[in-house]
Amino acid sequence: MNNTFFIVIGIAIVLVIIFIYNSLISKKNQVKNALSGIDVQLKKRSDLVPNLINTVKGYMEHEKQLLEAVTKTRTQAAQQKEGTQKRFASENMLTQLLAQLYVVAENYPQLKASENFLKLQAQLYDIEEHIAAARRAYNGAVYTYNNIVQMFPSSLVASAMGFKSQPMFDAPENETTNVNVNEKF
Amino acid sequence: MKNFDDIYKEVLPLLKKLQRQRRVYRLLKFIGYGALQLLILLLVVYVVYITFFIFTPDTITGFFIRQGRRNADKLNYIYSLQLVFFLFIPLSFLYTRIRRKQQEIFSLVVKHVAPNFQFIPHAIIPKNCIDHSKLLSKQLEKNENAYVMSDGKLKGKIDGVDIELADISLLNSSRKIFFLYYIPGINFLMVALLYLRPLFTRRSVEDFSDFKGLFMTADFHKQLHGTTVVLPDVLEKRAGFVGKILQGMNIKRDELVHMENTAFEKEFVVYSTDQIEARYALTPVMMERILAMRQKANKPLMISFREGKMYMIIPEPEGIFSFKPSENVTKPPALKRMYDNIQFCLTIVDDLQLNTTLWKTGCSQQHHK
């Protein structure tokens, strides 16, 4: 009787551990998936930046420094390993520089009238929105994963199996507000 | 644009006519339903009479033939009671006239409130459009042969955003029971059931619909490849954390999306084919706007985003653009409700800022040129 009881309890514990382990793997994969989602969007943006620079450099001769900074930061970001904090820091810097570029573009009426520039700018704004969405999806996945890693009793399994909490992605301040394009055009 | 008082003054003669028709309709309906109930009572008495006073084990063989011959006169008398159903013919004509009058009034109000909008009285929102929205998939799945009825469609453009609005009703006409209408005798019972059903249901429906409410489509200037559906979160409100787990296991819907806005998450449940795309459509600002609109409407909202369109449904058993069945339409509050509902719908584009050009990508701009 006693043996049966302990066997049943043992099987139940093993099943719970398997369930928790599988949940942890599933959530960890979701985090990885969300992270790759950010990278996809960052890559798209990175591909568009040279086109943007080529389009604006003819009009913005006096903003050479800014254009160089954009190019340099883009190269730096591309050189960093995907999904690392350094890469994200470079990408954040690029976001800020691009925002600065759009503001400066206000002083160049001919550039503002250029259809190619407007198209590129709209595409970049759209990608920025995608990046923001991907970051939020990443944070959502990390939040769920961290809950499992830190909550009892799954925390016992997580620590025994070497699962660690993941850092959330902090979006730059200017990305948390919506940009009004009407004002910019 | 005229103010409400001026519109009311202009529409009042029509409202008076409508109120007279509605009174006659109610009276006829009362008589018709009364007669129908009496008929059913007579049938029940007749069945009881046959069962307990005539039907005995030794008369089983040939009972129906003998009784049919013996009671031919009585049966003819019972069948003649079916004439009661003729009462429903003028009722149906009157109902159509009332609907037309209501449409006329609605059209006039629209003309003054939204001059750039077109009201098409005979147009409907196609069923495939409702199906495409994925909002009523539960109802449509239940009724594979559901009909969509609407009292006209409102169509127009606000700040470059095409929108269409209609009060829709989903009528249940399931294939499983529809054949019963072709069987003599049973069809009689089916029609009786159809008319008696409202007497035993809490819902105040006039047209036996399974769903009634406002359906709206609007342009959404974001390129979406999947579907994101926002529904009222009833289950989590009732069952808390367990409800959330159950929502996650809903195999009929796409993946559950946990939004970071707690107020939004409390009010709505989001399902999407893509976690990132759901957040792309539902930006933090958009979530705030939807929440504000939910409060403004004070009704549950169902929203979906799919292939450059935003779909919205506001369930309302009495219809957003119709008068309530029992209210006196000549009194200002009845028309005011209609007026306010039109105004509310016209502000949806502004409230959700669907006209924001930020969302116009190169491709969509080209498409709109």
Q: Number of A:B CB contacts under 8 A?
A: 66
In a domain, B117, yes or no: yes
Structure confidence at residue B178 (pLDDT): 61
Average pLDDT score over residue span A123-129: 87
B277 interface with A at CB cutoff 8 Å: yes
B57 interface with A at CB cutoff 8 Å: no
Structure confidence at residue B72 (pLDDT): 56
The rounded mean pLDDT for chain A is: 83
**B258 to A140: CB separation less than 8 angstroms, yes or no:** yes
Q: Which residue has the higher pLDDT, B174 or B92?
A: B92
Average pLDDT score over residue span A119-124: 85
Structure confidence at residue A18 (pLDDT): 93
Nearest CB neighbour to A178, from listed B223, B276, B285: B285
Q: Say if CB A77 and CB A46 are below 8 A apart.
A: yes
B350 interface with A at CB cutoff 8 Å: no
* Predicted TM-score (pTM) of this structure: 0.75
pLDDT per residue as tens digits for the range B4-60: 888 898 889 999 999 998 898 888 888 877 777 777 777 777 777 766 665 555 555
**A122 to B283: CB separation less than 8 angstroms, yes or no:** no
Number of structural domains (chain B) is 1
Which chain A residue is nearest to residue B274, measuring alpha carbons? A137
- Mean pLDDT is lowest, of A143-157, B67-81, B122-136, B180-194, for B67-81
Structure confidence at residue B367 (pLDDT): 37
- Mean pLDDT is lowest, of B18-22, B172-176, B180-184, B267-271, for B172-176
Q: Which residue has the higher pLDDT, A81 or B282?
A: B282
Structure confidence at residue B368 (pLDDT): 38
Which chain B residue is nearest to residue A35, measuring alpha carbons? B276
Which chain A residue is nearest to residue B365, measuring alpha carbons? A119
In a domain, B359, yes or no: yes
pLDDT per residue as tens digits for the range B263-302: 998 899 999 999 999 999 998 989 999 999 999 888 899 9
Place of tokens 């910019």: A184
Average pLDDT score over residue span B205-229: 79
Structure confidence at residue B311 (pLDDT): 93
B364: confidence class by pLDDT, cuts 50, 70, 90: very low
pLDDT per residue as tens digits for the range B289-347: 999 999 988 889 999 999 889 999 998 887 778 888 778 888 998 899 888 888 888 88
The rounded mean pLDDT for chain B is: 78
Structure confidence at residue B359 (pLDDT): 42
In a domain, B151, yes or no: yes
Structure confidence at residue B182 (pLDDT): 63
Residue B203 has pLDDT above 60, yes or no: no
In a domain, B284, yes or no: no
In a domain, B249, yes or no: no
In a domain, B289, yes or no: no
**A140 to B257: CB separation less than 8 angstroms, yes or no:** yes
CATH for A31-37+50-172 is 1.20.1440
Structure confidence at residue B235 (pLDDT): 78
B62: confidence class by pLDDT, cuts 50, 70, 90: low
